[in-house]
Chain A
Amino acid sequence: MKSMSDKFGELKTILIFGFIALIAEVALRFIIHHKSHFLWEEIPGFYAIFGFFGYILLSKFSKFLGYRILMKEPDYYERRCKR
C-alpha cells in the first residue's frame, strides 16, 4: 500500500511529462526559428537542467542557511528580549 507521502505526485508520470516536453522542444527547434537572447537558450533542454539542478542548489543553500544560522527555538525572542 502506498504511503501518504507517495500519493503526492507519481515519479513515473512526471518523468514521462518532462521527457515529452524535452522531445517537443527539440522538435520545435527544427520546425520554427526561436529568437534567443542568451547563449544558454541555444542548449536543448536547458530549462530541464536548470530546473533540476536549480532545485537542488536552492534547497541545499536554504537548508544550510536555516540550520547553520537562521533557525532558532520558537521562544527565542521571548528569551532574548526579556528585560
Chain B
Amino acid sequence: MIWIHPGILAVFGAFIIPFIPFRLLKKIYFFSLPLIAFLILILTTKGFFGEIPMTTWKIHFMGYDLILGRIDALSLFFAYVFAIIAICANIYSLHIKNDFEHVAAMIYFGSTIGAIFAGDLFTLYVFWETMAISSVFLIWFRGTSSARNAGFRYIIWHVISGSLLLFGIALHVQKTGSIFFTNFMDFINLGLDSIPYLLILLGFMINAAVIPFHSWLTDSYPEASITGATYMSAFTTKCAVYALVRGFAGLEILAWLGAVMAVYGVIFAAIVNDGRRLLSYHIVSQIGYMVCGIGLGTPLAINGAVALAFSNIIYKTLLFMGMGAVIEVTGKSKFTELGGLYRYMTLTFYLYMIGALSIFGFPLFSGFVSKPMVVYASAELHLPLIFLLLEGAAIGTLHTVGLRLPWSVWFSREKPKDLIAKEPPKNMLVAMSITAFLCVFFGTYPGYKVFYSILPYPTDYEPYEPFKVVTTIQLFAFTTLAFLIYRKKYRNVEAIVLDTDWLGRVLGSRFVSFCETKLVDLARRIDKSSSYFAEKIKILFTNPEMTYKSTKSNLEQSSNSPISRQLEMGIGILLTLLFMLVYLIYLILQEIF
C-alpha cells in the first residue's frame, strides 16, 4: 500500500469543497478531510504502509531531493494533534455557509501538516508561506474594516518571516550544499558564519510570536472570523515551535526569552478589554513555556515543550471556541459590553472552565501532566529565576484565563438588557464537548500514559506525585482567594493597550508620511537642480552663448523632460548598485573571517 501524504491530501481536497452539490454532502466531506488525515497517521504508526523509512515521498527538483514526508516521532506527534484539532474545529465550523472559509481552513491545515513533515528547508519554506497566505483569509472573512487592516499587518509580518527564512536557507545552502532540515546548533558560533542560522531563527521566532515579534498575533487573532480563530490559535505558532525544536533545541537565549514572555503575556492579558485578545496574549505566555523548554534543551525539557504544545493546542482551541461562542451569540467581544451571561450560556461557561482549569494545570486536566515538565526541568538545571518566572506566569494564567475572563463575561454584573444571549448552535457545543473531553482524557489515567508513550523521548516523569498535587492546589486556591477578595475593585476599561506594534504602526506611519512629503519634495528639488545642470551642459556643448541666457521657464520645462525621467531611473539603478555593493562587501567579509 502506498503512503499518502495527509497534508497534501487536505490541500488538494480543499479545492473540491465548493463543487460539492448538497449541503449535507458538503458537511460530511468537510468533516471527513481531517478525519482521513488522522486515520492515515494512525495507520502509519500501526505499520499499515509497511516499514516507513524516516524519509519518504521524495521529489527530485533542480538537483536536490525534496523530502515531503519525514516521518519520525517528533513530526508524528505534532501531526496527530493537528489532525485531532482540525476535526474538532471543522465540527465547530459546520454551520458556516461560506465555502471559501472552509477551503482556506483546510489548505491552512494541510500546509501545516506539510511543514511538519518537511524534511528539507525548501519544502518547509513552501508550506510555511502557504500557511501564511491561507490563514490571512481566515482573518479577512470576518468582513470588518479592522479585520481587513489587521490581515494586511499579519501578512506583512509573515512575508518578513518567510523572506528571512528564505534568505537564511539560501545562505545555508550556498555554504553547505545541503537543503536537509536538521539541527543548526552545530553551525552557531559568534562569527559571521552564524548569519544564515540567525536569519532562519528570526523567521521561526516571528512565527512563534516570540517577544518582541509577537504583536502580529495579538493584533490579528482577535480580528479573525469566529471559526477561523480556532484554527489559527492551534496551527501557526505551534508549527513554529516544532521548527524551533527541530532546528534550535538547546539554544540558551531561548530559555530566557521564553521565561520572560511567559510573564509578559499574562501581564498584558490582565489589562486588555477584549476576550479573544486576552486569549491571544495568553498564547504568547504559553508559547513562552514551550520556547523556554526548547532553550533548556534537556530531554525532559524538550518532552515538556512538545507535550505542552500538544495539550495547549487542545485547551487553547477550546478556550477560543468558548469565547467565539459568546461572540457568535452576542456579537460582542469586549468585557465592557459583556457580563451576566451565566444564566443564558451555562453549558458554554462550564465547557470553557474545563479549558481554563486545563491551561492552569489543575490536577486531572491535561495542563497538569504537561506544563510542570518544563518548570521541573528548569528546577533540575537549578535555574531559580526561570523557575520563579514560570511559576509566576502560572498565577497570571489563572488570574487572566481562569478568573478574569469568565468573571467578566459570565458574571461581574447583571446581563445588559440589549444583549442577546443563548447557548450557541449545537455543532459548536459538540465540538467544545469533544475538546473538553480530550482535556480531561489526556490529564487522567490512562490518557496521559498514552500521551507520554508518543513523546519524542522516553520519559519516567510522574505527574501525580502527592507533593505536586497539593502544591498545585495551594497555588490555585490562594490565587483564587486573592482574586475573590479584590474582585469588587476590578473594573474593565474601554481602552486599547499599546504594545511593540506601536513602533510599526505609529513610527512606520510617520516614516511613510515623511517619505510622501519631505522626501518626495527633496527628490523633486534634486531632480530640478540635476536637470538644470544637465540642461546647462547640453546647451554649453550645443549653443555655448545660450548658457547664460537660460531662464526659469525652460528650467521648469526641463523637469518634465526625458532627461529628468532618465535621472529618476539613474537614481534607482544607483541604489540597486549600492545594495549589490553592500552584499559584495558582506561576501568578502565572510570569506576573510
B59 within 8 A of A: no
> Could you tell me if B496 and A9 are in contact, using CB atoms closer than 8 angstroms?
no
Query: Is there contact, CB below 8 Å, between B495 and A71?
Result: yes
Which residues of A in the span 1-50 have a Cβ within 8 Å of any Cβ on B?
4-5, 7-9, 11, 14-15, 17-18, 21-22, 24-25, 28, 32, 34, 37-38, 45-50
A8 touches B267 (CB 8 A): no
| Cβ contacts B449-488/A at 8 Å (1 or 0 each) | 0000000000000000011001111111111111111111
Residues of B within 8 A of A34 (CB): 467
Name the one of A4, A51, A58 contacting B412, with C-beta atoms under 8 angstroms.
A4
Main secondary structure of the interface of B (DSSP, over half): helix
Chain A residues with CB under 8 Å of B426's CB are: none
Question: Which residues of A are in contact with B by a Cβ distance under 8 Å?
Answer: 4-5, 7-9, 11, 14-15, 17-18, 21-22, 24-25, 28, 32, 34, 37-38, 45-56, 58-59, 61-63, 65-66, 69-74, 76-77, 80-81, 83
Q: What is the CB-to-nearest-CB distance from B478 to chain A, in angstroms, rounded to a whole number?
A: 4
Q: Are B412 and A47 in contact (CB-based, < 8 A)?
A: no
User: Provided the pairs A55-B399, A58-B270, A83-B509 are in contact, do residues A71 and B474 lie with their beta carbons within 8 angstroms?
Assistant: no
Chain A hits for B499, CB < 8 A: 70
Known: A77-B496, A77-B506. A83 touches B513 (CB 8 A): yes
B496 touches A74 (CB 8 A): yes
Subset of 30 A-B contacts with CB under 8 Å = A4-B342, A5-B488, A8-B410, A9-B403, A11-B485, A14-B480, A14-B481, A15-B477, A28-B467, A32-B467, A38-B379, A47-B471, A48-B475, A50-B475, A52-B482, A54-B395, A59-B486, A62-B267, A63-B271, A65-B271, A66-B270, A66-B271, A66-B497, A70-B271, A70-B497, A71-B493, A72-B496, A76-B496, A80-B509, A83-B509
Do A83 and B516 have beta carbons less than 8 Å apart?
yes
Q: Which of B377-406 contact A (CB under 8 A)?
A: 379-380, 382, 384, 387, 391-392, 395-396, 399, 403, 406
Contact present for A70 and B481 (CB under 8 Å): no
Instruction: Report the Cα distance A10→B271, complex, angstroms.
Output: 24
Chain B residues with a Cβ under 8 A of chain A:
266-268, 270-271, 339-340, 342, 379-380, 382, 384, 387, 391-392, 395-396, 399, 403, 406-407, 410-414, 466-467, 470-488, 493-499, 505-506, 509, 512-513, 516
The number of residue pairs between A and B whose CB atoms lie closer than 8 Å in the complex comes to 167
Contacts A59-B270, A63-B271, A71-B495 given; indicate if A51 touches B477 (C-beta within 8 A). yes
Kindly list 20 other residue pairs between chains A and B, CB separation below 8 angstroms, not including A48-B477, A53-B482: A9-B403, A18-B473, A18-B474, A25-B470, A37-B379, A37-B387, A45-B474, A46-B471, A48-B478, A51-B478, A52-B479, A54-B392, A54-B479, A55-B399, A61-B267, A62-B267, A72-B496, A73-B495, A81-B509, A83-B516
